[in-house]
């Protein structure tokens, strides 16, 4: 059986979920890149709230700091650098066949949603582990332990990825006068 959640919890879960959904829809329909970026930040904030409600406190904090803070600021920085902020007659929404394809793909993905919301069609999932007891090191230690033990190799490879990204960004971004 599905575990019961207090009404307070469910209400806020649905509230933030609906905010995320509405902001996402507004995000893809805005013409101005700046307005779109602001709605995307709103999506990310509501997702951070959902992460905290699902006992992923550290992920929620990182979501606000890295995603809403750093990555979106880089996007806005590029928008301003290229002076693209004004939506001057941008009809950048495609038309015709591409729209039809998009609708078809959306339909396929939304049917997945329909399956997910119908518990009878789903395989029986293991019961939630429930609230883990507060770890000694707090919210960070819970993640740091597997990150630096089980996933140490992946963590080290990530540093190579970041190095490649830095070098790539510098090479692509510099002026080629030669």
Partner 1 sequence: MINEALALSAALFAIGVVGVLTRRNALIVFMCVELMLNAVNLAFVAFSKLHGMGGQVFVIFVMTVAAAEAAVGLAIVIALFRHRQTVDLDDIGLLRG
Q: Closest approach of Cβ 178 to partner 1, in Å?
A: 15
When asked if residue 140 is in the footprint of partner 1 (CB under 8 A), the reply is no
Q: Which of 11, 15, 137, 145 contacts partner 1 by CB under 8 A?
A: 145
Q: Which of 8, 45, 56, 156 contacts partner 1 by CB under 8 A?
A: 56
Q: Which of 11, 80, 86, 99 contacts partner 1 by CB under 8 A?
A: 99
When asked if residue 13 is in the footprint of partner 1 (CB under 8 A), the reply is yes
When asked if residue 25 is in the footprint of partner 1 (CB under 8 A), the reply is yes
Please give the torsion angle defined by the CA atoms of residues 84, 90, 93 and 97, in that order, rounded to the nearest 10 degrees.
Answer: -130
Where residue 54 falls (left for φ over 0; alpha for ψ -120 to 50; beta otherwise) is alpha
Please give the torsion angle defined by the CA atoms of residues 145, 148, 149 and 150, in that order, rounded to the nearest 10 degrees.
Answer: 100
Q: Closest approach of Cβ 128 to partner 1, in Å?
A: 5
**For residues 137 and 143, is the Cβ–Cβ distance under 8 A?**
no
């Amino acid at each position: 059986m599905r575990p019961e959640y207090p009404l307070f919890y469910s209400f806020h879960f649905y509230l933030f979920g609906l905010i995320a959904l509405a902001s996402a829809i507004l995000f893809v329909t805005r013409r101005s890149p700046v307005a779109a970026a602001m709605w995307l930040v709103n999506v990310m904030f509501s997702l951070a709230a959902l992460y905290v409600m699902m006992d992923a406190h550290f992920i929620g904090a990182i979501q606000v700091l890295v995603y809403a803070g750093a990555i979106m600021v880089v996007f806005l920085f590029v928008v301003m650098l290229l002076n693209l902020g004004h939506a001057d007659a941008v009809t950048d929404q495609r038309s015709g066949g591409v729209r039809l394809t998009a609708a078809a793909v959306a339909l396929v993905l939304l049917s997945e949603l329909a399956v997910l919301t119908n518990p009878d069609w789903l395989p029986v999932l293991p019961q939630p582990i429930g609230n883990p007891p507060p770890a000694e090191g707090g919210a960070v230690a819970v993640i740091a332990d597997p990150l630096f033990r089980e996933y140490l190799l992946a963590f080290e490879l990530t540093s190579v990825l970041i190095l490649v990204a830095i070098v790539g960004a510098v090479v692509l971004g510099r002026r080629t006068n030669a």
